[in-house]
Structure 1
Amino acid sequence: MTKDQQPLSKLEQYFEVEKLVFHSLDLALYNVSAVVEGQEYMITDEKNQRLKSHNLLSLQQLCQHVKAKKQVVRQSSPYDEMVGGPIKVNNELEVSLGDNKLY
Protein backbone atom coordinates (compact mmCIF):
# COMPACT_ATOMS: atom_id res chain seq x y z
CA MET A 1 0.00 0.00 0.00
CA THR A 2 1.51 3.30 -1.04
CA LYS A 3 0.91 6.22 1.23
CA ASP A 4 0.67 9.81 0.14
CA GLN A 5 3.69 11.95 0.92
CA GLN A 6 4.15 15.30 2.68
CA PRO A 7 7.35 17.31 3.05
CA LEU A 8 8.52 17.85 6.61
CA SER A 9 8.43 21.64 6.18
CA LYS A 10 4.70 21.53 5.42
CA LEU A 11 3.91 19.30 8.43
CA GLU A 12 5.80 21.71 10.69
CA GLN A 13 3.24 24.38 9.75
CA TYR A 14 0.21 22.33 10.91
CA PHE A 15 -1.36 23.36 14.18
CA GLU A 16 -1.23 19.73 15.32
CA VAL A 17 -1.03 16.26 13.79
CA GLU A 18 -2.72 13.24 15.33
CA LYS A 19 0.29 10.96 15.41
CA LEU A 20 3.90 10.55 14.29
CA VAL A 21 4.64 6.94 13.35
CA PHE A 22 8.23 5.72 13.32
CA HIS A 23 8.26 2.55 11.19
CA SER A 24 10.79 -0.08 12.25
CA LEU A 25 11.74 -1.60 8.91
CA ASP A 26 14.78 -3.84 9.20
CA LEU A 27 17.94 -4.04 11.31
CA ALA A 28 17.45 -0.67 13.01
CA LEU A 29 16.27 1.13 9.87
CA TYR A 30 13.40 3.53 10.40
CA ASN A 31 11.25 5.85 8.36
CA VAL A 32 8.47 8.11 9.57
CA SER A 33 4.91 9.02 8.69
CA ALA A 34 2.31 11.38 10.12
CA VAL A 35 -1.43 10.89 10.58
CA VAL A 36 -3.37 14.06 9.73
CA GLU A 37 -7.18 14.05 9.84
CA GLY A 38 -7.22 10.25 9.66
CA GLN A 39 -4.94 10.09 6.59
CA GLU A 40 -1.39 8.72 6.89
CA TYR A 41 1.39 10.48 4.96
CA MET A 42 5.01 9.38 4.58
CA ILE A 43 7.27 12.30 5.53
CA THR A 44 9.79 13.45 2.93
CA ASP A 45 12.56 16.01 2.72
CA GLU A 46 12.51 18.91 0.27
CA LYS A 47 13.90 16.65 -2.48
CA ASN A 48 10.86 14.36 -2.08
CA GLN A 49 12.99 11.58 -0.52
CA ARG A 50 11.46 9.71 2.41
CA LEU A 51 13.06 10.51 5.74
CA LYS A 52 14.94 7.45 6.96
CA SER A 53 17.70 6.69 9.40
CA HIS A 54 19.38 3.90 11.35
CA ASN A 55 18.98 6.10 14.42
CA LEU A 56 15.51 6.66 15.86
CA LEU A 57 16.68 9.65 17.89
CA SER A 58 17.94 11.42 14.78
CA LEU A 59 14.49 11.04 13.18
CA GLN A 60 12.88 12.41 16.34
CA GLN A 61 15.25 15.35 16.15
CA LEU A 62 14.33 16.01 12.51
CA CYS A 63 10.64 15.96 13.46
CA GLN A 64 10.94 17.96 16.68
CA HIS A 65 9.02 20.93 15.23
CA VAL A 66 6.04 18.81 14.16
CA LYS A 67 3.39 19.24 16.82
CA ALA A 68 2.06 15.70 17.35
CA LYS A 69 -0.48 14.51 19.92
CA LYS A 70 1.49 11.27 20.24
CA GLN A 71 4.42 9.34 18.82
CA VAL A 72 4.59 5.59 18.27
CA VAL A 73 6.96 2.97 16.91
CA ARG A 74 5.24 0.55 14.50
CA GLN A 75 6.63 -2.84 13.53
CA SER A 76 5.18 -5.69 11.54
CA SER A 77 6.69 -9.13 11.45
CA PRO A 78 6.89 -11.79 8.73
CA TYR A 79 7.94 -14.46 11.26
CA ASP A 80 4.49 -16.08 11.58
CA GLU A 81 4.62 -17.05 7.92
CA MET A 82 8.30 -18.00 8.10
CA VAL A 83 7.70 -20.67 10.77
CA GLY A 84 4.77 -22.20 8.90
CA GLY A 85 2.00 -20.36 10.70
CA PRO A 86 -1.06 -19.06 8.91
CA ILE A 87 -0.69 -15.97 6.75
CA LYS A 88 -1.93 -12.95 8.68
CA VAL A 89 -3.41 -9.88 7.08
CA ASN A 90 -2.01 -7.46 9.65
CA ASN A 91 0.23 -8.22 12.62
CA GLU A 92 1.49 -4.70 13.25
CA LEU A 93 2.51 -3.73 16.74
CA GLU A 94 2.42 -0.09 17.86
CA VAL A 95 4.20 1.03 21.00
CA SER A 96 3.86 4.53 22.44
CA LEU A 97 7.04 6.53 22.30
CA GLY A 98 7.87 9.65 24.25
CA ASP A 99 10.19 12.36 23.02
CA ASN A 100 12.65 12.83 25.87
CA LYS A 101 14.76 15.13 23.68
CA LEU A 102 17.85 12.93 24.12
CA TYR A 103 19.30 14.25 20.85
Structure 2
Amino acid sequence: MPYHRAEHLNHQDVRINELTIHSFEMGVYLAEVDYDGRKAFLVDNENKPQRFNSVEQVKQALDRCTIYQAYLVHQSAYDEMCGGPEKVDNTLKVPLFVPGAV
Protein backbone atom coordinates (compact mmCIF):
# COMPACT_ATOMS: atom_id res chain seq x y z
CA MET A 1 0.00 0.00 0.00
CA PRO A 2 1.50 3.35 -1.00
CA TYR A 3 1.79 6.01 1.66
CA HIS A 4 3.41 9.37 2.38
CA ARG A 5 4.81 10.90 5.56
CA ALA A 6 4.39 14.58 6.33
CA GLU A 7 8.02 14.92 7.46
CA HIS A 8 9.22 13.58 4.08
CA LEU A 9 7.01 15.96 2.09
CA ASN A 10 7.31 19.15 4.12
CA HIS A 11 10.25 20.71 2.24
CA GLN A 12 10.44 23.78 0.00
CA ASP A 13 11.35 21.78 -3.10
CA VAL A 14 8.30 19.47 -2.85
CA ARG A 15 5.35 20.18 -5.16
CA ILE A 16 2.06 18.49 -4.24
CA ASN A 17 -0.48 18.27 -7.06
CA GLU A 18 -3.51 17.81 -4.81
CA LEU A 19 -4.20 17.64 -1.09
CA THR A 20 -7.53 16.13 -0.06
CA ILE A 21 -8.52 16.44 3.59
CA HIS A 22 -11.20 13.92 4.52
CA SER A 23 -13.47 15.04 7.35
CA PHE A 24 -15.06 12.43 9.63
CA GLU A 25 -17.33 12.52 12.68
CA MET A 26 -15.85 13.55 16.04
CA GLY A 27 -13.36 16.02 14.52
CA VAL A 28 -11.10 13.47 12.84
CA TYR A 29 -9.31 14.46 9.65
CA LEU A 30 -7.17 12.31 7.35
CA ALA A 31 -4.98 13.80 4.62
CA GLU A 32 -4.58 12.25 1.18
CA VAL A 33 -1.77 13.59 -0.99
CA ASP A 34 -1.15 13.28 -4.73
CA TYR A 35 2.62 13.65 -5.02
CA ASP A 36 4.99 12.42 -7.70
CA GLY A 37 2.24 10.42 -9.41
CA ARG A 38 1.30 8.55 -6.22
CA LYS A 39 -1.97 9.26 -4.43
CA ALA A 40 -1.81 8.06 -0.83
CA PHE A 41 -2.73 8.96 2.74
CA LEU A 42 -0.29 10.48 5.19
CA VAL A 43 0.77 7.91 7.78
CA ASP A 44 2.38 8.13 11.22
CA ASN A 45 5.53 6.36 12.45
CA GLU A 46 3.57 3.10 12.87
CA ASN A 47 2.32 3.23 9.25
CA LYS A 48 -1.24 3.94 10.40
CA PRO A 49 -3.21 6.81 8.84
CA GLN A 50 -2.10 10.00 10.55
CA ARG A 51 -5.06 11.59 12.36
CA PHE A 52 -5.42 15.34 12.55
CA ASN A 53 -7.78 17.35 14.78
CA SER A 54 -8.39 20.22 12.34
CA VAL A 55 -7.81 21.44 8.81
CA GLU A 56 -5.37 23.96 10.24
CA GLN A 57 -3.30 21.15 11.76
CA VAL A 58 -2.98 19.53 8.31
CA LYS A 59 -1.92 22.85 6.80
CA GLN A 60 0.73 23.29 9.50
CA ALA A 61 2.10 19.80 8.88
CA LEU A 62 2.65 20.72 5.21
CA ASP A 63 3.46 24.43 5.54
CA ARG A 64 6.82 24.37 3.70
CA CYS A 65 5.87 22.56 0.49
CA THR A 66 3.91 23.94 -2.46
CA ILE A 67 0.34 22.68 -2.82
CA TYR A 68 -1.36 23.35 -6.15
CA GLN A 69 -4.91 22.31 -5.17
CA ALA A 70 -6.48 21.53 -1.80
CA TYR A 71 -9.97 20.28 -0.94
CA LEU A 72 -12.00 19.42 2.13
CA VAL A 73 -14.22 16.35 1.55
CA HIS A 74 -17.10 15.25 3.76
CA GLN A 75 -19.75 12.55 3.32
CA SER A 76 -22.85 12.73 5.47
CA ALA A 77 -24.20 9.58 7.10
CA TYR A 78 -27.64 11.09 7.73
CA ASP A 79 -29.16 9.58 4.59
CA GLU A 80 -28.61 6.01 5.84
CA MET A 81 -31.95 5.53 7.60
CA CYS A 82 -33.91 2.29 7.56
CA GLY A 83 -36.74 2.36 5.08
CA GLY A 84 -35.40 5.50 3.46
CA PRO A 85 -34.70 5.96 -0.22
CA GLU A 86 -31.66 4.33 -1.79
CA LYS A 87 -28.43 6.06 -0.84
CA VAL A 88 -27.09 8.62 -3.27
CA ASP A 89 -23.64 10.16 -3.36
CA ASN A 90 -23.79 13.14 -1.03
CA THR A 91 -20.08 13.95 -1.04
CA LEU A 92 -19.31 17.59 -0.36
CA LYS A 93 -15.98 18.71 -1.86
CA VAL A 94 -14.96 22.26 -0.99
CA PRO A 95 -11.84 23.97 -2.39
CA LEU A 96 -9.51 25.28 0.32
CA PHE A 97 -7.14 28.19 0.28
CA VAL A 98 -3.65 27.10 1.21
CA PRO A 99 -1.01 29.83 1.74
CA GLY A 100 1.77 29.44 -0.80
CA ALA A 101 -0.43 27.53 -3.25
CA VAL A 102 0.02 28.33 -6.89
TM-score (norm 2): 0.74
Offset, 1:6? 1.2
Query: 1:6: which partner in 2?
Result: 4
CA distance in 2, matches of 1:80, 1:7: 34
Identity %: 19
5+ residue gaps, structure 1, are none
RMSD: 2.5
Give the letter aligned to residue 57 of structure 2: S
Query: 2:35: which partner in 1?
Result: 36
5+ residue gaps, structure 2, are none
Query: Structure 1 pair 73/12, CA: closer, same or farther in 2 (3 Å)?
Result: same
Query: 1:99: which partner in 2?
Result: 98
TM-score (norm 1): 0.74
CA distance in 1, matches of 2:2, 2:85: 32
Matching of residues 14-93 of structure 1 within 5 Å: 15-36=14-35, 39-82=38-81, 84-88=84-88, 90-93=89-92
Which has the greater radius of gyration?
2
Bigger drift between 54-63 and 7-16 goes to 7-16
